[in-house]
Structure 1
Amino acid sequence: MNTTVPAARGSPDGRGPVRNPRPNRYAGPSLTRVTAASPSPSVKRPARPALVLATVCAALGIISIDVTVLHVAAPSIQRALDPTPGELLWIIDVFPFVVAPLLLSAGVLGDRFGRRLFLVVGLAVFGLASGWAAFAGDPTTLILARAVSAVGGSMAMPSTMSMIRVAYPDRATRVRAVAIWSMTSAGAAAAGPVIGGFLVEHFWWGSVFLVNVPVCAVVIVAALAWTRESRSDRPARFDLVSQLLAVGAVLAACLAANELADHAVLVSAVSAVVSAGLVVAFLRRQRAAMAAGVQPTLDLGLFADRSFSAALVAIFLAMFAIVGLDLQFAQHLQLSRGLAAFTAALMLLPLALATMAGGFCSPWLLRRLGHRRTISGGLVVAGLALVPVVALGGAESFVVFGICTGVVGFSVEVVAVAANDLIISSAGEHEVGGAAALEEIAYDLGGGFGVAVLGAVAATAVVAGGDDGFVRAVGGSVVVLVAVGLVMAGLLRRADVQTRA
């Protein structure tokens, strides 16, 4: 899970290009995290920016690990707490579903009340909630604890980038700092299943949460000792009603997906309708703010660019596939193949390592292939790489499984980096903050819905038809990835021409 800025995940030249500037339509600063991160002129540069970078990377790392650490630990939690399939999905994906909508406003509040304050308080909430989760005695308690920890994570995440912006006012050095920050996020998320597998196998399922407590305590001490407080001299407006509508819409959509796993069709249908209604209300409020000349929580004008919208969809589906399939793979290896938790985690290493390799190679590929071929081709290749897994019924051949999942991880990360660059390149100078915030939300929601939807498909298939739900979930991913990849080839026909303009 990554908090994105222009140079974080992606431009081929490392500078986060903005090639199509458009005038700002609103008075005042943006209500998003990147532009809100601009330091006040009165803030002095910390004496040791490297220590600031180490502190914020440690904070980001522990939060990123928490997004994926449960993928291997899920079967142990299932045996210990006996949750329903829907409850298990809530335990896993309530974290990204709470974090994503709160990111709309967390950076704004941090700018107003203090970035270091929000980092420290966010880590404290995250750590305490993790300790609560470690000793949860039932699924409901664990879900609530995970939701509270997500609130803490959403408070801390925007501050990590804001504090880098303050500590590194020079752009050349800041690019290197942001690269380290981004690699920390990707590496931590990739390491999550391995760490979770090791802890579950040597201790108990609660240890995957309990380990967060001392780490958060150390990072809080480091933040108080090595960083300085900073605030924006022009904090943006906070819209509580829009924030509540966004949170409600996302959680209702999550309920609709997760309840399918428990075959509560009526509850799922009602939740979907409620989510749609809240989305409509949210959009109307943003349009009303734009018509009144007030900066909205979400600038809908960004979606007028077809390449921008297509790139957001590509990121959403890329994360849908990689995060949702990661959970399906972990459960299949343990429940169907009988592997121990840590052994199953090691089987997922090709996926994790290939994802990191894709991040390194993507600038080179993007320069040679362009956005259209990189995004559409990457999605198609990722989908086709899953065909042998479906044909073999799972991990019948561990060698084939490792190669296929490695290709998927590499391709999906290349797509994500290319889409990131297209998003930032399509935004005007005053819209980069909003574009980056939307990209991060697409990452979180894509992963959350991947867990929810593919988990529901797998659970429903097993009960309804008695066949292998894992194969049906992976097969559905093949269809979605290939189909969307082909659609992207048409939607992004002019993308490379526009970004060179």
Structure 2
Amino acid sequence: MTTTSTAPLAGRKGWTAFVVLLLPLLLVSMDVSVLYFAVPEISRELHPSAAQQLWIFDIYAFALAGLLITMGALGDRIGRRKLLLFGAVAFGIASVAAAYARNAEMLIAARAGLGIGGATLMPSTMALVRNIFQDAIQRGRAIAIWSSAMAGGIALGSVMSGVMLDHFWWGSVFLVNVPAMVLLLVLVPVLVPEFKDPAPGRFDLLSVPLSMGAVLPVIYGLKKVSADNAITLVPALSIVAGLVIGAVFVRRQLTRRDAMISPALFRDRGFGPAVAINTLATFAMMGSAYFTTQYLQSVLGKGPLEAALWSLAPSFSVALAGPTASVLVQRGADRASVISGGFVLGAVGYGVLAFAGTDALWTVLIGAALLASGIVMVMALVTDMAIGAVPPKRAGSAAALLETGQEFGGAMGMAVLGSVGTAVYRADVKDTMPDGLPPAAVEAVRETLGVADAVAERLSGGTGELVLHSAREAFTHGMRIASVTGAGVLIAGAVLAAVTLRPPRIAKTSAPAVADAPADAESGTETGADDAVAV
């Protein structure tokens, strides 16, 4: 890879600003998993119904996914730093509201506020990284660290939750956000310059509900399929409705001069494939998480905090994966080949998981580490490619599209691989339950492994142990079959990357920094701020 870029290099102030921008990234990704272990205490204190408990979890992801495109486009218009500061205020206030919620309705509303705040923070941070690091090599390194931090934040959230709950009340898991948001409000104005499109055109208000109508029904339908492990009428209609509205949204973007998502983003032939490949990578990541978290607790019988600590083990290799991929490309390796190699490494990780038994802690941890490392390699490189391919003035919209694709991929991965594993689990359980077990108990055991554990506790001695043993074997078998399926998906991803990201296209997108300086000038970026960052 050549390094003939004449773009200015970011200095110490730029890298310090980048570290500050990692704060909101970590917190938003941690909030995905921070409630995993707090559910029992929340249930005792707030007494939510089954539907309310589901919304306490899901409303955050729904608000986040539904507003990413809107907030990315808004940041391009009003300024990414300004939007980031608004988001920090919203996230901090919502965190306090969640911590001191007195009933389930208040907690659901506060979680929605956290999702809105997160939707402003996520695309703003990635877009600011694009603006701060104009040099392609520096930007590649920064985005590699960014990708590893995002993956690590999800694992760290569950551990943080377990530690806080060991010492404080359930609301404390949200108060962790507050000092970080205060620090962000203090440091960002000092360290991070403002960037925006000086002539963005009129903001298309009608596209806001259209973008939400395209994203939310599909995400809801996929989550419903994942929760029910079946495709029923309501989620199917929801997905279809979202796709129809999505078609209307896309047509509007193609026919308006002031489109929220400019068609110019896709003029570079590498941007579209990068978004698709990033979505596929998230599919694999979240699909595996569905099984490994349950395996540690329900199959191996580990407590919540112990399981969370064990789940951190793969994070050590993940932390190195993104920077390693970036270094390989900078030293001359073909980007398409490294991305394909990341997919293959992930497929090997799924292959290791396919050999797991009911007492295979290290097999699962090694498989999860290989899988996550390969996926983070892919995500780091395609994110850098996509963000580097677009003009700096459109970085917010580009970041929002990438992150919306991640939401789709994660929901699809849990729905598809979760359904595969559950189908195997239910078939095995039906055939292996001990004779004489009441039909109602058999049906309950077939629901989930967690329900099977509860049923086994109520049965007498040997029968309960046999039920639990059979359920654990069935779950592990389902995980193995889902892992084979996931490996096949990742092999297909390796082929897709090799075909769509072949060298001529990579050469076109791997040196955008040569044109970055004039693009910044055209977009009216504050040159004084640029110079201050790139000292």
Shared fold (TM-score greater than 0.5)?
Answer: yes
Q: Kindly report which structure 2 residues correspond to 1:432-447, keeping only aligned pairs within 5 A, or say none.
A: 435-447=398-410
SS at match of 2:203: coil
Equivalent positions of 1:47-446 (< 5 A) are 52-71=17-36, 91-136=56-101, 141-160=106-125, 184-223=149-188, 232-260=197-225, 261-262=227-228, 265-289=232-256, 294-300=257-263, 308-366=271-329, 370-393=334-357, 396-423=359-386, 435-446=398-409
The answer to whether the Cα contact below 8 Å between 1:85 and 1:459 also exists between their aligned partners in 2 is no
List runs of 5+ in structure 2 lacking aligned partners.
431-445, 447-470, 509-535
Q: Percent identity?
A: 33
State the partner residue of 1:27.
Answer: none
User: Structure 1 residue 373: deviation in Å?
Assistant: 3.6
Distance 2:488 2:231 in 1: 30
What residue identity is the alignment partner of 2:283?
A: F
- SS of the residue corresponding to residue 234 of structure 1 reads coil
CA distance in 1, matches of 2:42, 2:34: 12
CA shift digits 1:1-58 (9 cap, x unpaired): xxxxxxxxxxx7899999xxxxxxxxxxxxxxxxxxxxxxxxxx9x976765554333
- Gap change, CA 1:230 and 1:307, over 3 Å in 2: closer
**Offset at residue 342 of structure 1 (A):** 2.0
Please say if residues 460 and 469 of structure 1, whose CA atoms lie closer than 8 Å, have aligned partners that are also in contact.
Answer: no
Q: CA deviation at 1:226?
A: 6.3
* 1:314 and 1:375 in contact (8 A); partners too: no
Q: CA deviation at 1:321?
A: 2.1
Count, aligned residues: 459
CA contact (8 A) 1:312 1:419 kept: yes
- Aligned mate of 1:493, from 486, 490, 499: 499
Between 1 and 2, higher relative CO (CA 8 Å, sep ≥ 6) is seen in 1
Match of 1:30 in 2: none
Closer, same or farther: CA 16–213 of 1 in aligned 2, 3 Å: farther
Q: What SS does the corresponding residue of 1:493 show, helix, strand or coil?
A: helix
Q: What is the TM-score with the length of structure 1 in the denominator? A: 0.75
**Preserved contact between residue 258 and residue 456 of structure 1 (Cα < 8 Å):** no
Let me know the Cα RMSD of the aligned residues. Answer: 4.3
Is the deviation greater in 331-340 or in 461-470? 461-470
Q: Is the 8 A contact 1:17 1:424 kept in 2?
A: no
Paired residues for 1:7-46 under 5 Å: none
Aligned equivalents of 2:498, 2:26: Cα separation in 1: 34
Structure 2 letter corresponding to 1:315: N
Alignment partners' CA distance in 2, 1:155 and 1:491: 30
What is the TM-score when the length of structure 2 is the normalising length? 0.70
The answer on whether the counterparts of 1:107 and 1:158 sit within 8 Å (CA) in structure 2 is yes
Q: If you compute each CA radius of gyration, which structure gives the higher value, 1 or 2?
A: 2
How far, CA to CA, are the matches of 2:323 and 2:349 in structure 1?
20
Q: Which amino acid aligns with 2:482?
A: G
CA, structure 1 residues 333+76, in 2 after alignment: closer, same or farther (shift >3 Å)? farther
* Equivalent AA in structure 2 for residue 374 of structure 1: V
**Secondary structure class of the residue paired with 1:153:** helix
String of CA shifts for 1:323-361, please: whole Å, max 9, x gaps.
342353223322332212221112112322222121121
Aligned partners of 2:186, 2:283: CA distance in 1, in Å? Answer: 36
Amino acid in the other structure paired with 1:405: A
CA contact (8 A) 1:110 1:159 kept: yes
Using a 3 Å threshold, how does the CA distance of structure 1 residues 471 and 117 change in structure 2: closer, same or farther? farther
Q: Distance in 2 between matches of 1:158 and 1:220?
A: 17
Deviations 1:44-87 (A, max 9, x none): x9x97676555433333322322343455567667877878886
Aligned mates of 1:130, 1:226 — CA distance in 2? 25
